[in-house]
Amino acid sequence: MPIQSPDNPLIIARPEGLYCPAGDFYIDPWRPVARAIITHAHSDHARVGHGHYLATQAGEQVLRHRLGDIALQTLRYGEAVSHNGVRISLHPAGHVLGSAQVRIEVAGEVWVASGDYKVEPDPTCAAFEPVRCDTFITESTFGLPIYRWQHSDALFAEINQWWRANAAQGRVSVLFCYAFGKAQRILRGVDASIGPILTHGAVAPLNDAYRASGVALPATRRVAELAARGENKAAYAGALVLAPPSAAGSTWMRRFGDYSDAFASGWMLLRGARRRRGVERGFVMSDHADWPGLLWAIEQTGAQQVYVTHGQTGVLTRWLGEHGIAAHTFHTQYGDEDEGVGQQQDEATQAAAAPMDDAADSAHRAEQGPEEGAAP
């Protein structure tokens, strides 16, 4: 391994976004730039207005759906291109369809920018692939020891049980979830034999983009389609309805008559988050790595230097520093829009200040605080 030169980092933070000086390109920039590599199509990472885009072939359909007519060059996972002497390749991040870690190499030095990622299996996208590197750039959305996800088999058993019980009573099951990634993972994971599956207009086109990309999903119908036919409330009985968080409490909900509602997000681990959502059930489900997942991923890279971009940056950099890894923060404009809420991070940070074995209780107390901001 070459000696790293702190004066010559492969990636730096600029007002426009994360920048590679040697290659003269950006990764997930938040301001318009000439050349951008996009890790995935969530709106805090993929924005309109760049001159040239480089992204994965697997994510092309969803990226074009979101950004429209863009100058897009795609790479297969693992395929490399050279730009201004920088070797660039994209590797699965396991977050959503097409999501990638960006590996860049100059004169034998390797940096990996991972965007958003999760390490548990997800049948709607390629599995996270650990990539050896000198410097790893990581998120930390759920970077607190209290965040540990249960196995997805157990999660979907819970969701199926809730849906089945509602269907047996002729009730509609409305599940709020982020429209891109989360909704498709739920579709793929639920037992479609329980009843019909209906989708909000924000979810349906993403399902179509997934299907066009070769991801098999159970049959769905749009709520608007039934409404246009003048179907009465009985037509919805027993159905599972997937809708974005913004539909909660809206007039759109009135058509369902008797329904049970639930919200799927990593933040549902915090009781107060569910209470504020005003839903009956919270399913703890995230497309981000939990605390053990973050530590495992970082360890797998073998990186001696780590930059943390968003989420619990302070907690994770401190932990890494205590474990012999040079850790720093990049100030970015990435958020957790794909989890549907944001305020919980501050509350959870307060919890982190408490002794660890008491952290979960403190998180619950901290949630008594102010109302969260509007959903995206």
For Zn ion, the closer CB: 19 or 334 = 334
Considering only 110-118, 291-299, 315-323, 343-351, which stretch makes contact with Zn ion by CB under 5 A?
110-118
Task: Tell the smallest beta-carbon distance from residue 66 to Zn ion (Å).
Answer: 12
**Rounded to the nearest whole angstrom, what is the least distance from the CB of residue 337 to Zn ion in the complex?**
7
Distance CA 34, CA 297 (A): 31
Structure token pair of residue 66? 């979101």
In the complex, minimum distance from the CB of residue 17 to Zn ion, in angstroms, rounded to a whole number: 13
- Residue with smaller CB distance to Zn ion, 4 or 333: 333
Q: How many residues bind Zn ion (CB under 5 A)?
A: 5
Q: How far is the CB of 339 from Zn ion (least distance, A)?
A: 9
Q: What is the DSSP string of 202-246?
A: TTHHHHHHHHHTT------EEHHHHHHTT--GGGGTT-EEEE-GG
User: Would strands 25-27 and 17-20 be described as parallel, antiparallel, or unpaired?
Assistant: antiparallel
Q: Minimum distance between the CB of residue 108 and Zn ion, rounded to whole angstroms?
A: 30
Give least dist CB 95 to Zn ion, A.
Answer: 6
Q: For residue 227, how many other CB atoms are within 10 A of its CB?
A: 13
Between 89 and 309, CB nearer to Zn ion:
309
Q: Output 92 or 195, the one with its CB closest to Zn ion.
A: 92
- String marking each residue 26-65 x if it binds Zn ion according to CB under 5 A: ----------------x-x---------------------
Angle at alpha carbon of residue 319, lines to 313 and 320, rounded to 5° = 90
Question: Based on CB atoms, which residue is closest to Zn ion, 238 or 244?
Answer: 244
Helix, coil or strand: residue 266: helix
Quick one: 129 or 337, whose CB is closer to Zn ion? Answer: 337
Q: Which of 310, 307, 298, 317 is nearest to 335 (CA)?
A: 310
Q: Is 147 helix (H, G, I), strand (E, B) or coil?
A: coil
What whole-number distance in Å separates Cα of residue 55 and Cα of residue 57?
A: 7
Of 136 and 256, which CB lies nearer to Zn ion in the complex structure? 136
Question: Residue 359 is inside which H or E element, if any?
Answer: helix 359-366
The correct pick among 109, 116, 290, 347 for binding Zn ion (CB under 5 A) is: 116
Contacts of 22 (CB under 8 A, 6+ apart): 10, 84, 85, 86, 106
- Residue whose C-alpha is closest to residue 311's, from 138, 179, 101, 114: 138
**Region at 49 (left for phi over 0; alpha for psi -120 to 50; beta for the rest):** left
**Where in 323-352 is the site for Zn ion (CB under 5 A)?**
334, 338
Q: How close are the terminal C-alpha atoms of the chain, in Å?
A: 44
Binding flags for Zn ion, 218-257, as an x/- string (CB under 5 A): ----------------------------------------
Least Å from the CB of residue 115 to Zn ion: 7
Length of the chain: 376
Pairing relationship of beta strands 100-106 and 86-92 according to DSSP bridges: antiparallel
Distance CA(75)–CA(73), nearest Å, equals 7
Q: In terms of CB distance, is 9 or 376 closer to Zn ion? A: 376
Shortest reach from residue 93's CB to Zn ion, in Å: 9
C-beta closer to Zn ion: residue 13 or 354: 13
Given the rule CB under 5 A, which of 108-116, 226-234, 269-277, 297-305 is the region that contacts Zn ion? 108-116
CA distance 242 to 253: 12
Using the rule CB under 5 A, is 122 a contact of Zn ion?
A: no
Provide, rounded to whole angstroms, the least separation between the CB of residue 253 and Zn ion.
26
Q: Which stretch binds Zn ion (CB under 5 A): 14-22, 111-119, 243-251, 273-281?
A: 111-119
Tell me which residues touch Zn ion (CB under 5 A): 42, 44, 116, 334, 338
